[in-house]
Homo-oligomer: A and B are copies of this chain.
Amino acid sequence: MPVFSRFLRYFMAVAQHGSIRKASDELHIAASAIDRQVLQGEKILGTQLFERLPSGLRLTTAGELLLTSCRRWSRDLNALQTQLDNLKGLRQGSTDILIPDALTKGFLPTLLGKLRQTHPGIMVSIHVRKSHDMGELLVKGHADFALMFNPGHMRELTVRTHKEIPLGFVCLPSHEIAGLDEARFSLAAEYPMIVPAPPLALWRPIGVLEAETGVKVATVAKADNIQMIKSMVLEGAGVGILSYLDAYDEVQKGQLAFTPITNRKLPPLTLALCVDRSRQLSTAARFIITEIENFFAEQF
């Protein structure tokens, strides 16, 4: 059990999402359990922390009070943790990381590059694996943590952080769509599309979306390789459908534009940072994880 009580952790998640079920998704804890903790916490503090609306939970002023304290405590704890790490001389160590092929380009190399400069003593070993192999390797202790898409709920694993990766249209910056802040999926019928094919993970949600909405995608090309799709878009062959992560590099460089698709039916694509529930993380691993968490919090 982490330093703070279950109640505080659950409370923060619920306060952030305004909904027990959302918090349940993030924490990978049953909604009923979270509900009970919140109720019990309110009883202990003797105050209603949330007002119950049909749309979810909204903080009362009492709840806001507690939340601000919680935030401060969390920051304190983080600061304390790094103080402790510095105290015992964290400047060296090694970590084994599992990542899917999709992350071999993009933000992760950039992040690790910076890390090498600030903390040259830490060595990271990258292992590129299929998502479904990662769980086993993690449990066997062959790696400290894994970044994986849409992780199935394994009892032995815990999701420390997770991030919704927006799906969207990728086009040249000069294209009309590039001007939009967000786009409806029906646009896929109006422009020439270059779409992912199996075994790419993106193929699934796009297929689902097509079936659910009835939109007939104007497919002009398919490819089972992300880089191939991007290259074709760069050549002006059409508009790609990719995740933000796939296009991250080119978007940063201004070569491509990314416009997220807004659709209720869109199955979420989440990138999760998973660890073995029962294992103790090394200081180096913990450090890298917090770096990644910070990046998630800032960048996206």
Contacts and interface: CB of A to CB of B under 8 A. Distances in A.
A3 B45 contact: yes
Interface in A14-60: 40-41, 43-47
B80 A65 contact: yes
Contacts of A84: 45-47, 62, 65-66
Interface in A244-300: 280-281, 283, 286
A81 interface: yes
A2 interface: yes
A46 B61 CA distance: 36
Most B-side CB within 10 Å, residue of A6, A40, A81: A81
A81 B80 CA distance: 24
Interface stretch (A69-77, A115-123, A133-141): A69-77
A64 to B, nearest CB: 11
A72 B281 CA distance: 27
Contact of A69 (B6, B62, B77, B87): B77
Interface in A78-95: 80-81, 83-85, 87-88
A8 interface: yes
A47 B88 contact: yes
A191 interface: no
A88 B48 CA distance: 10
A62 B87 contact: yes
A65 B83 contact: yes
Contacts of A7: 1, 3
Contacts of A41: 3
A110 interface: no
Contacts of A76: 69, 72-73
Contacts of A87: 47, 61-62, 65
Contact of A3 (B8, B65, B281, B283): B8
Given A87-B61, A88-B62, A3 B80 contact: no
Given A1-B40, A4-B5, A5-B2, A66 B80 contact: yes
Nearest to A81: B45
A92 to B, nearest CB: 14
A286 B46 contact: yes
Given A1-B6, A5-B6, A73-B73, 4 more contacts: A2-B5, A62-B84, A65-B83, A65-B87
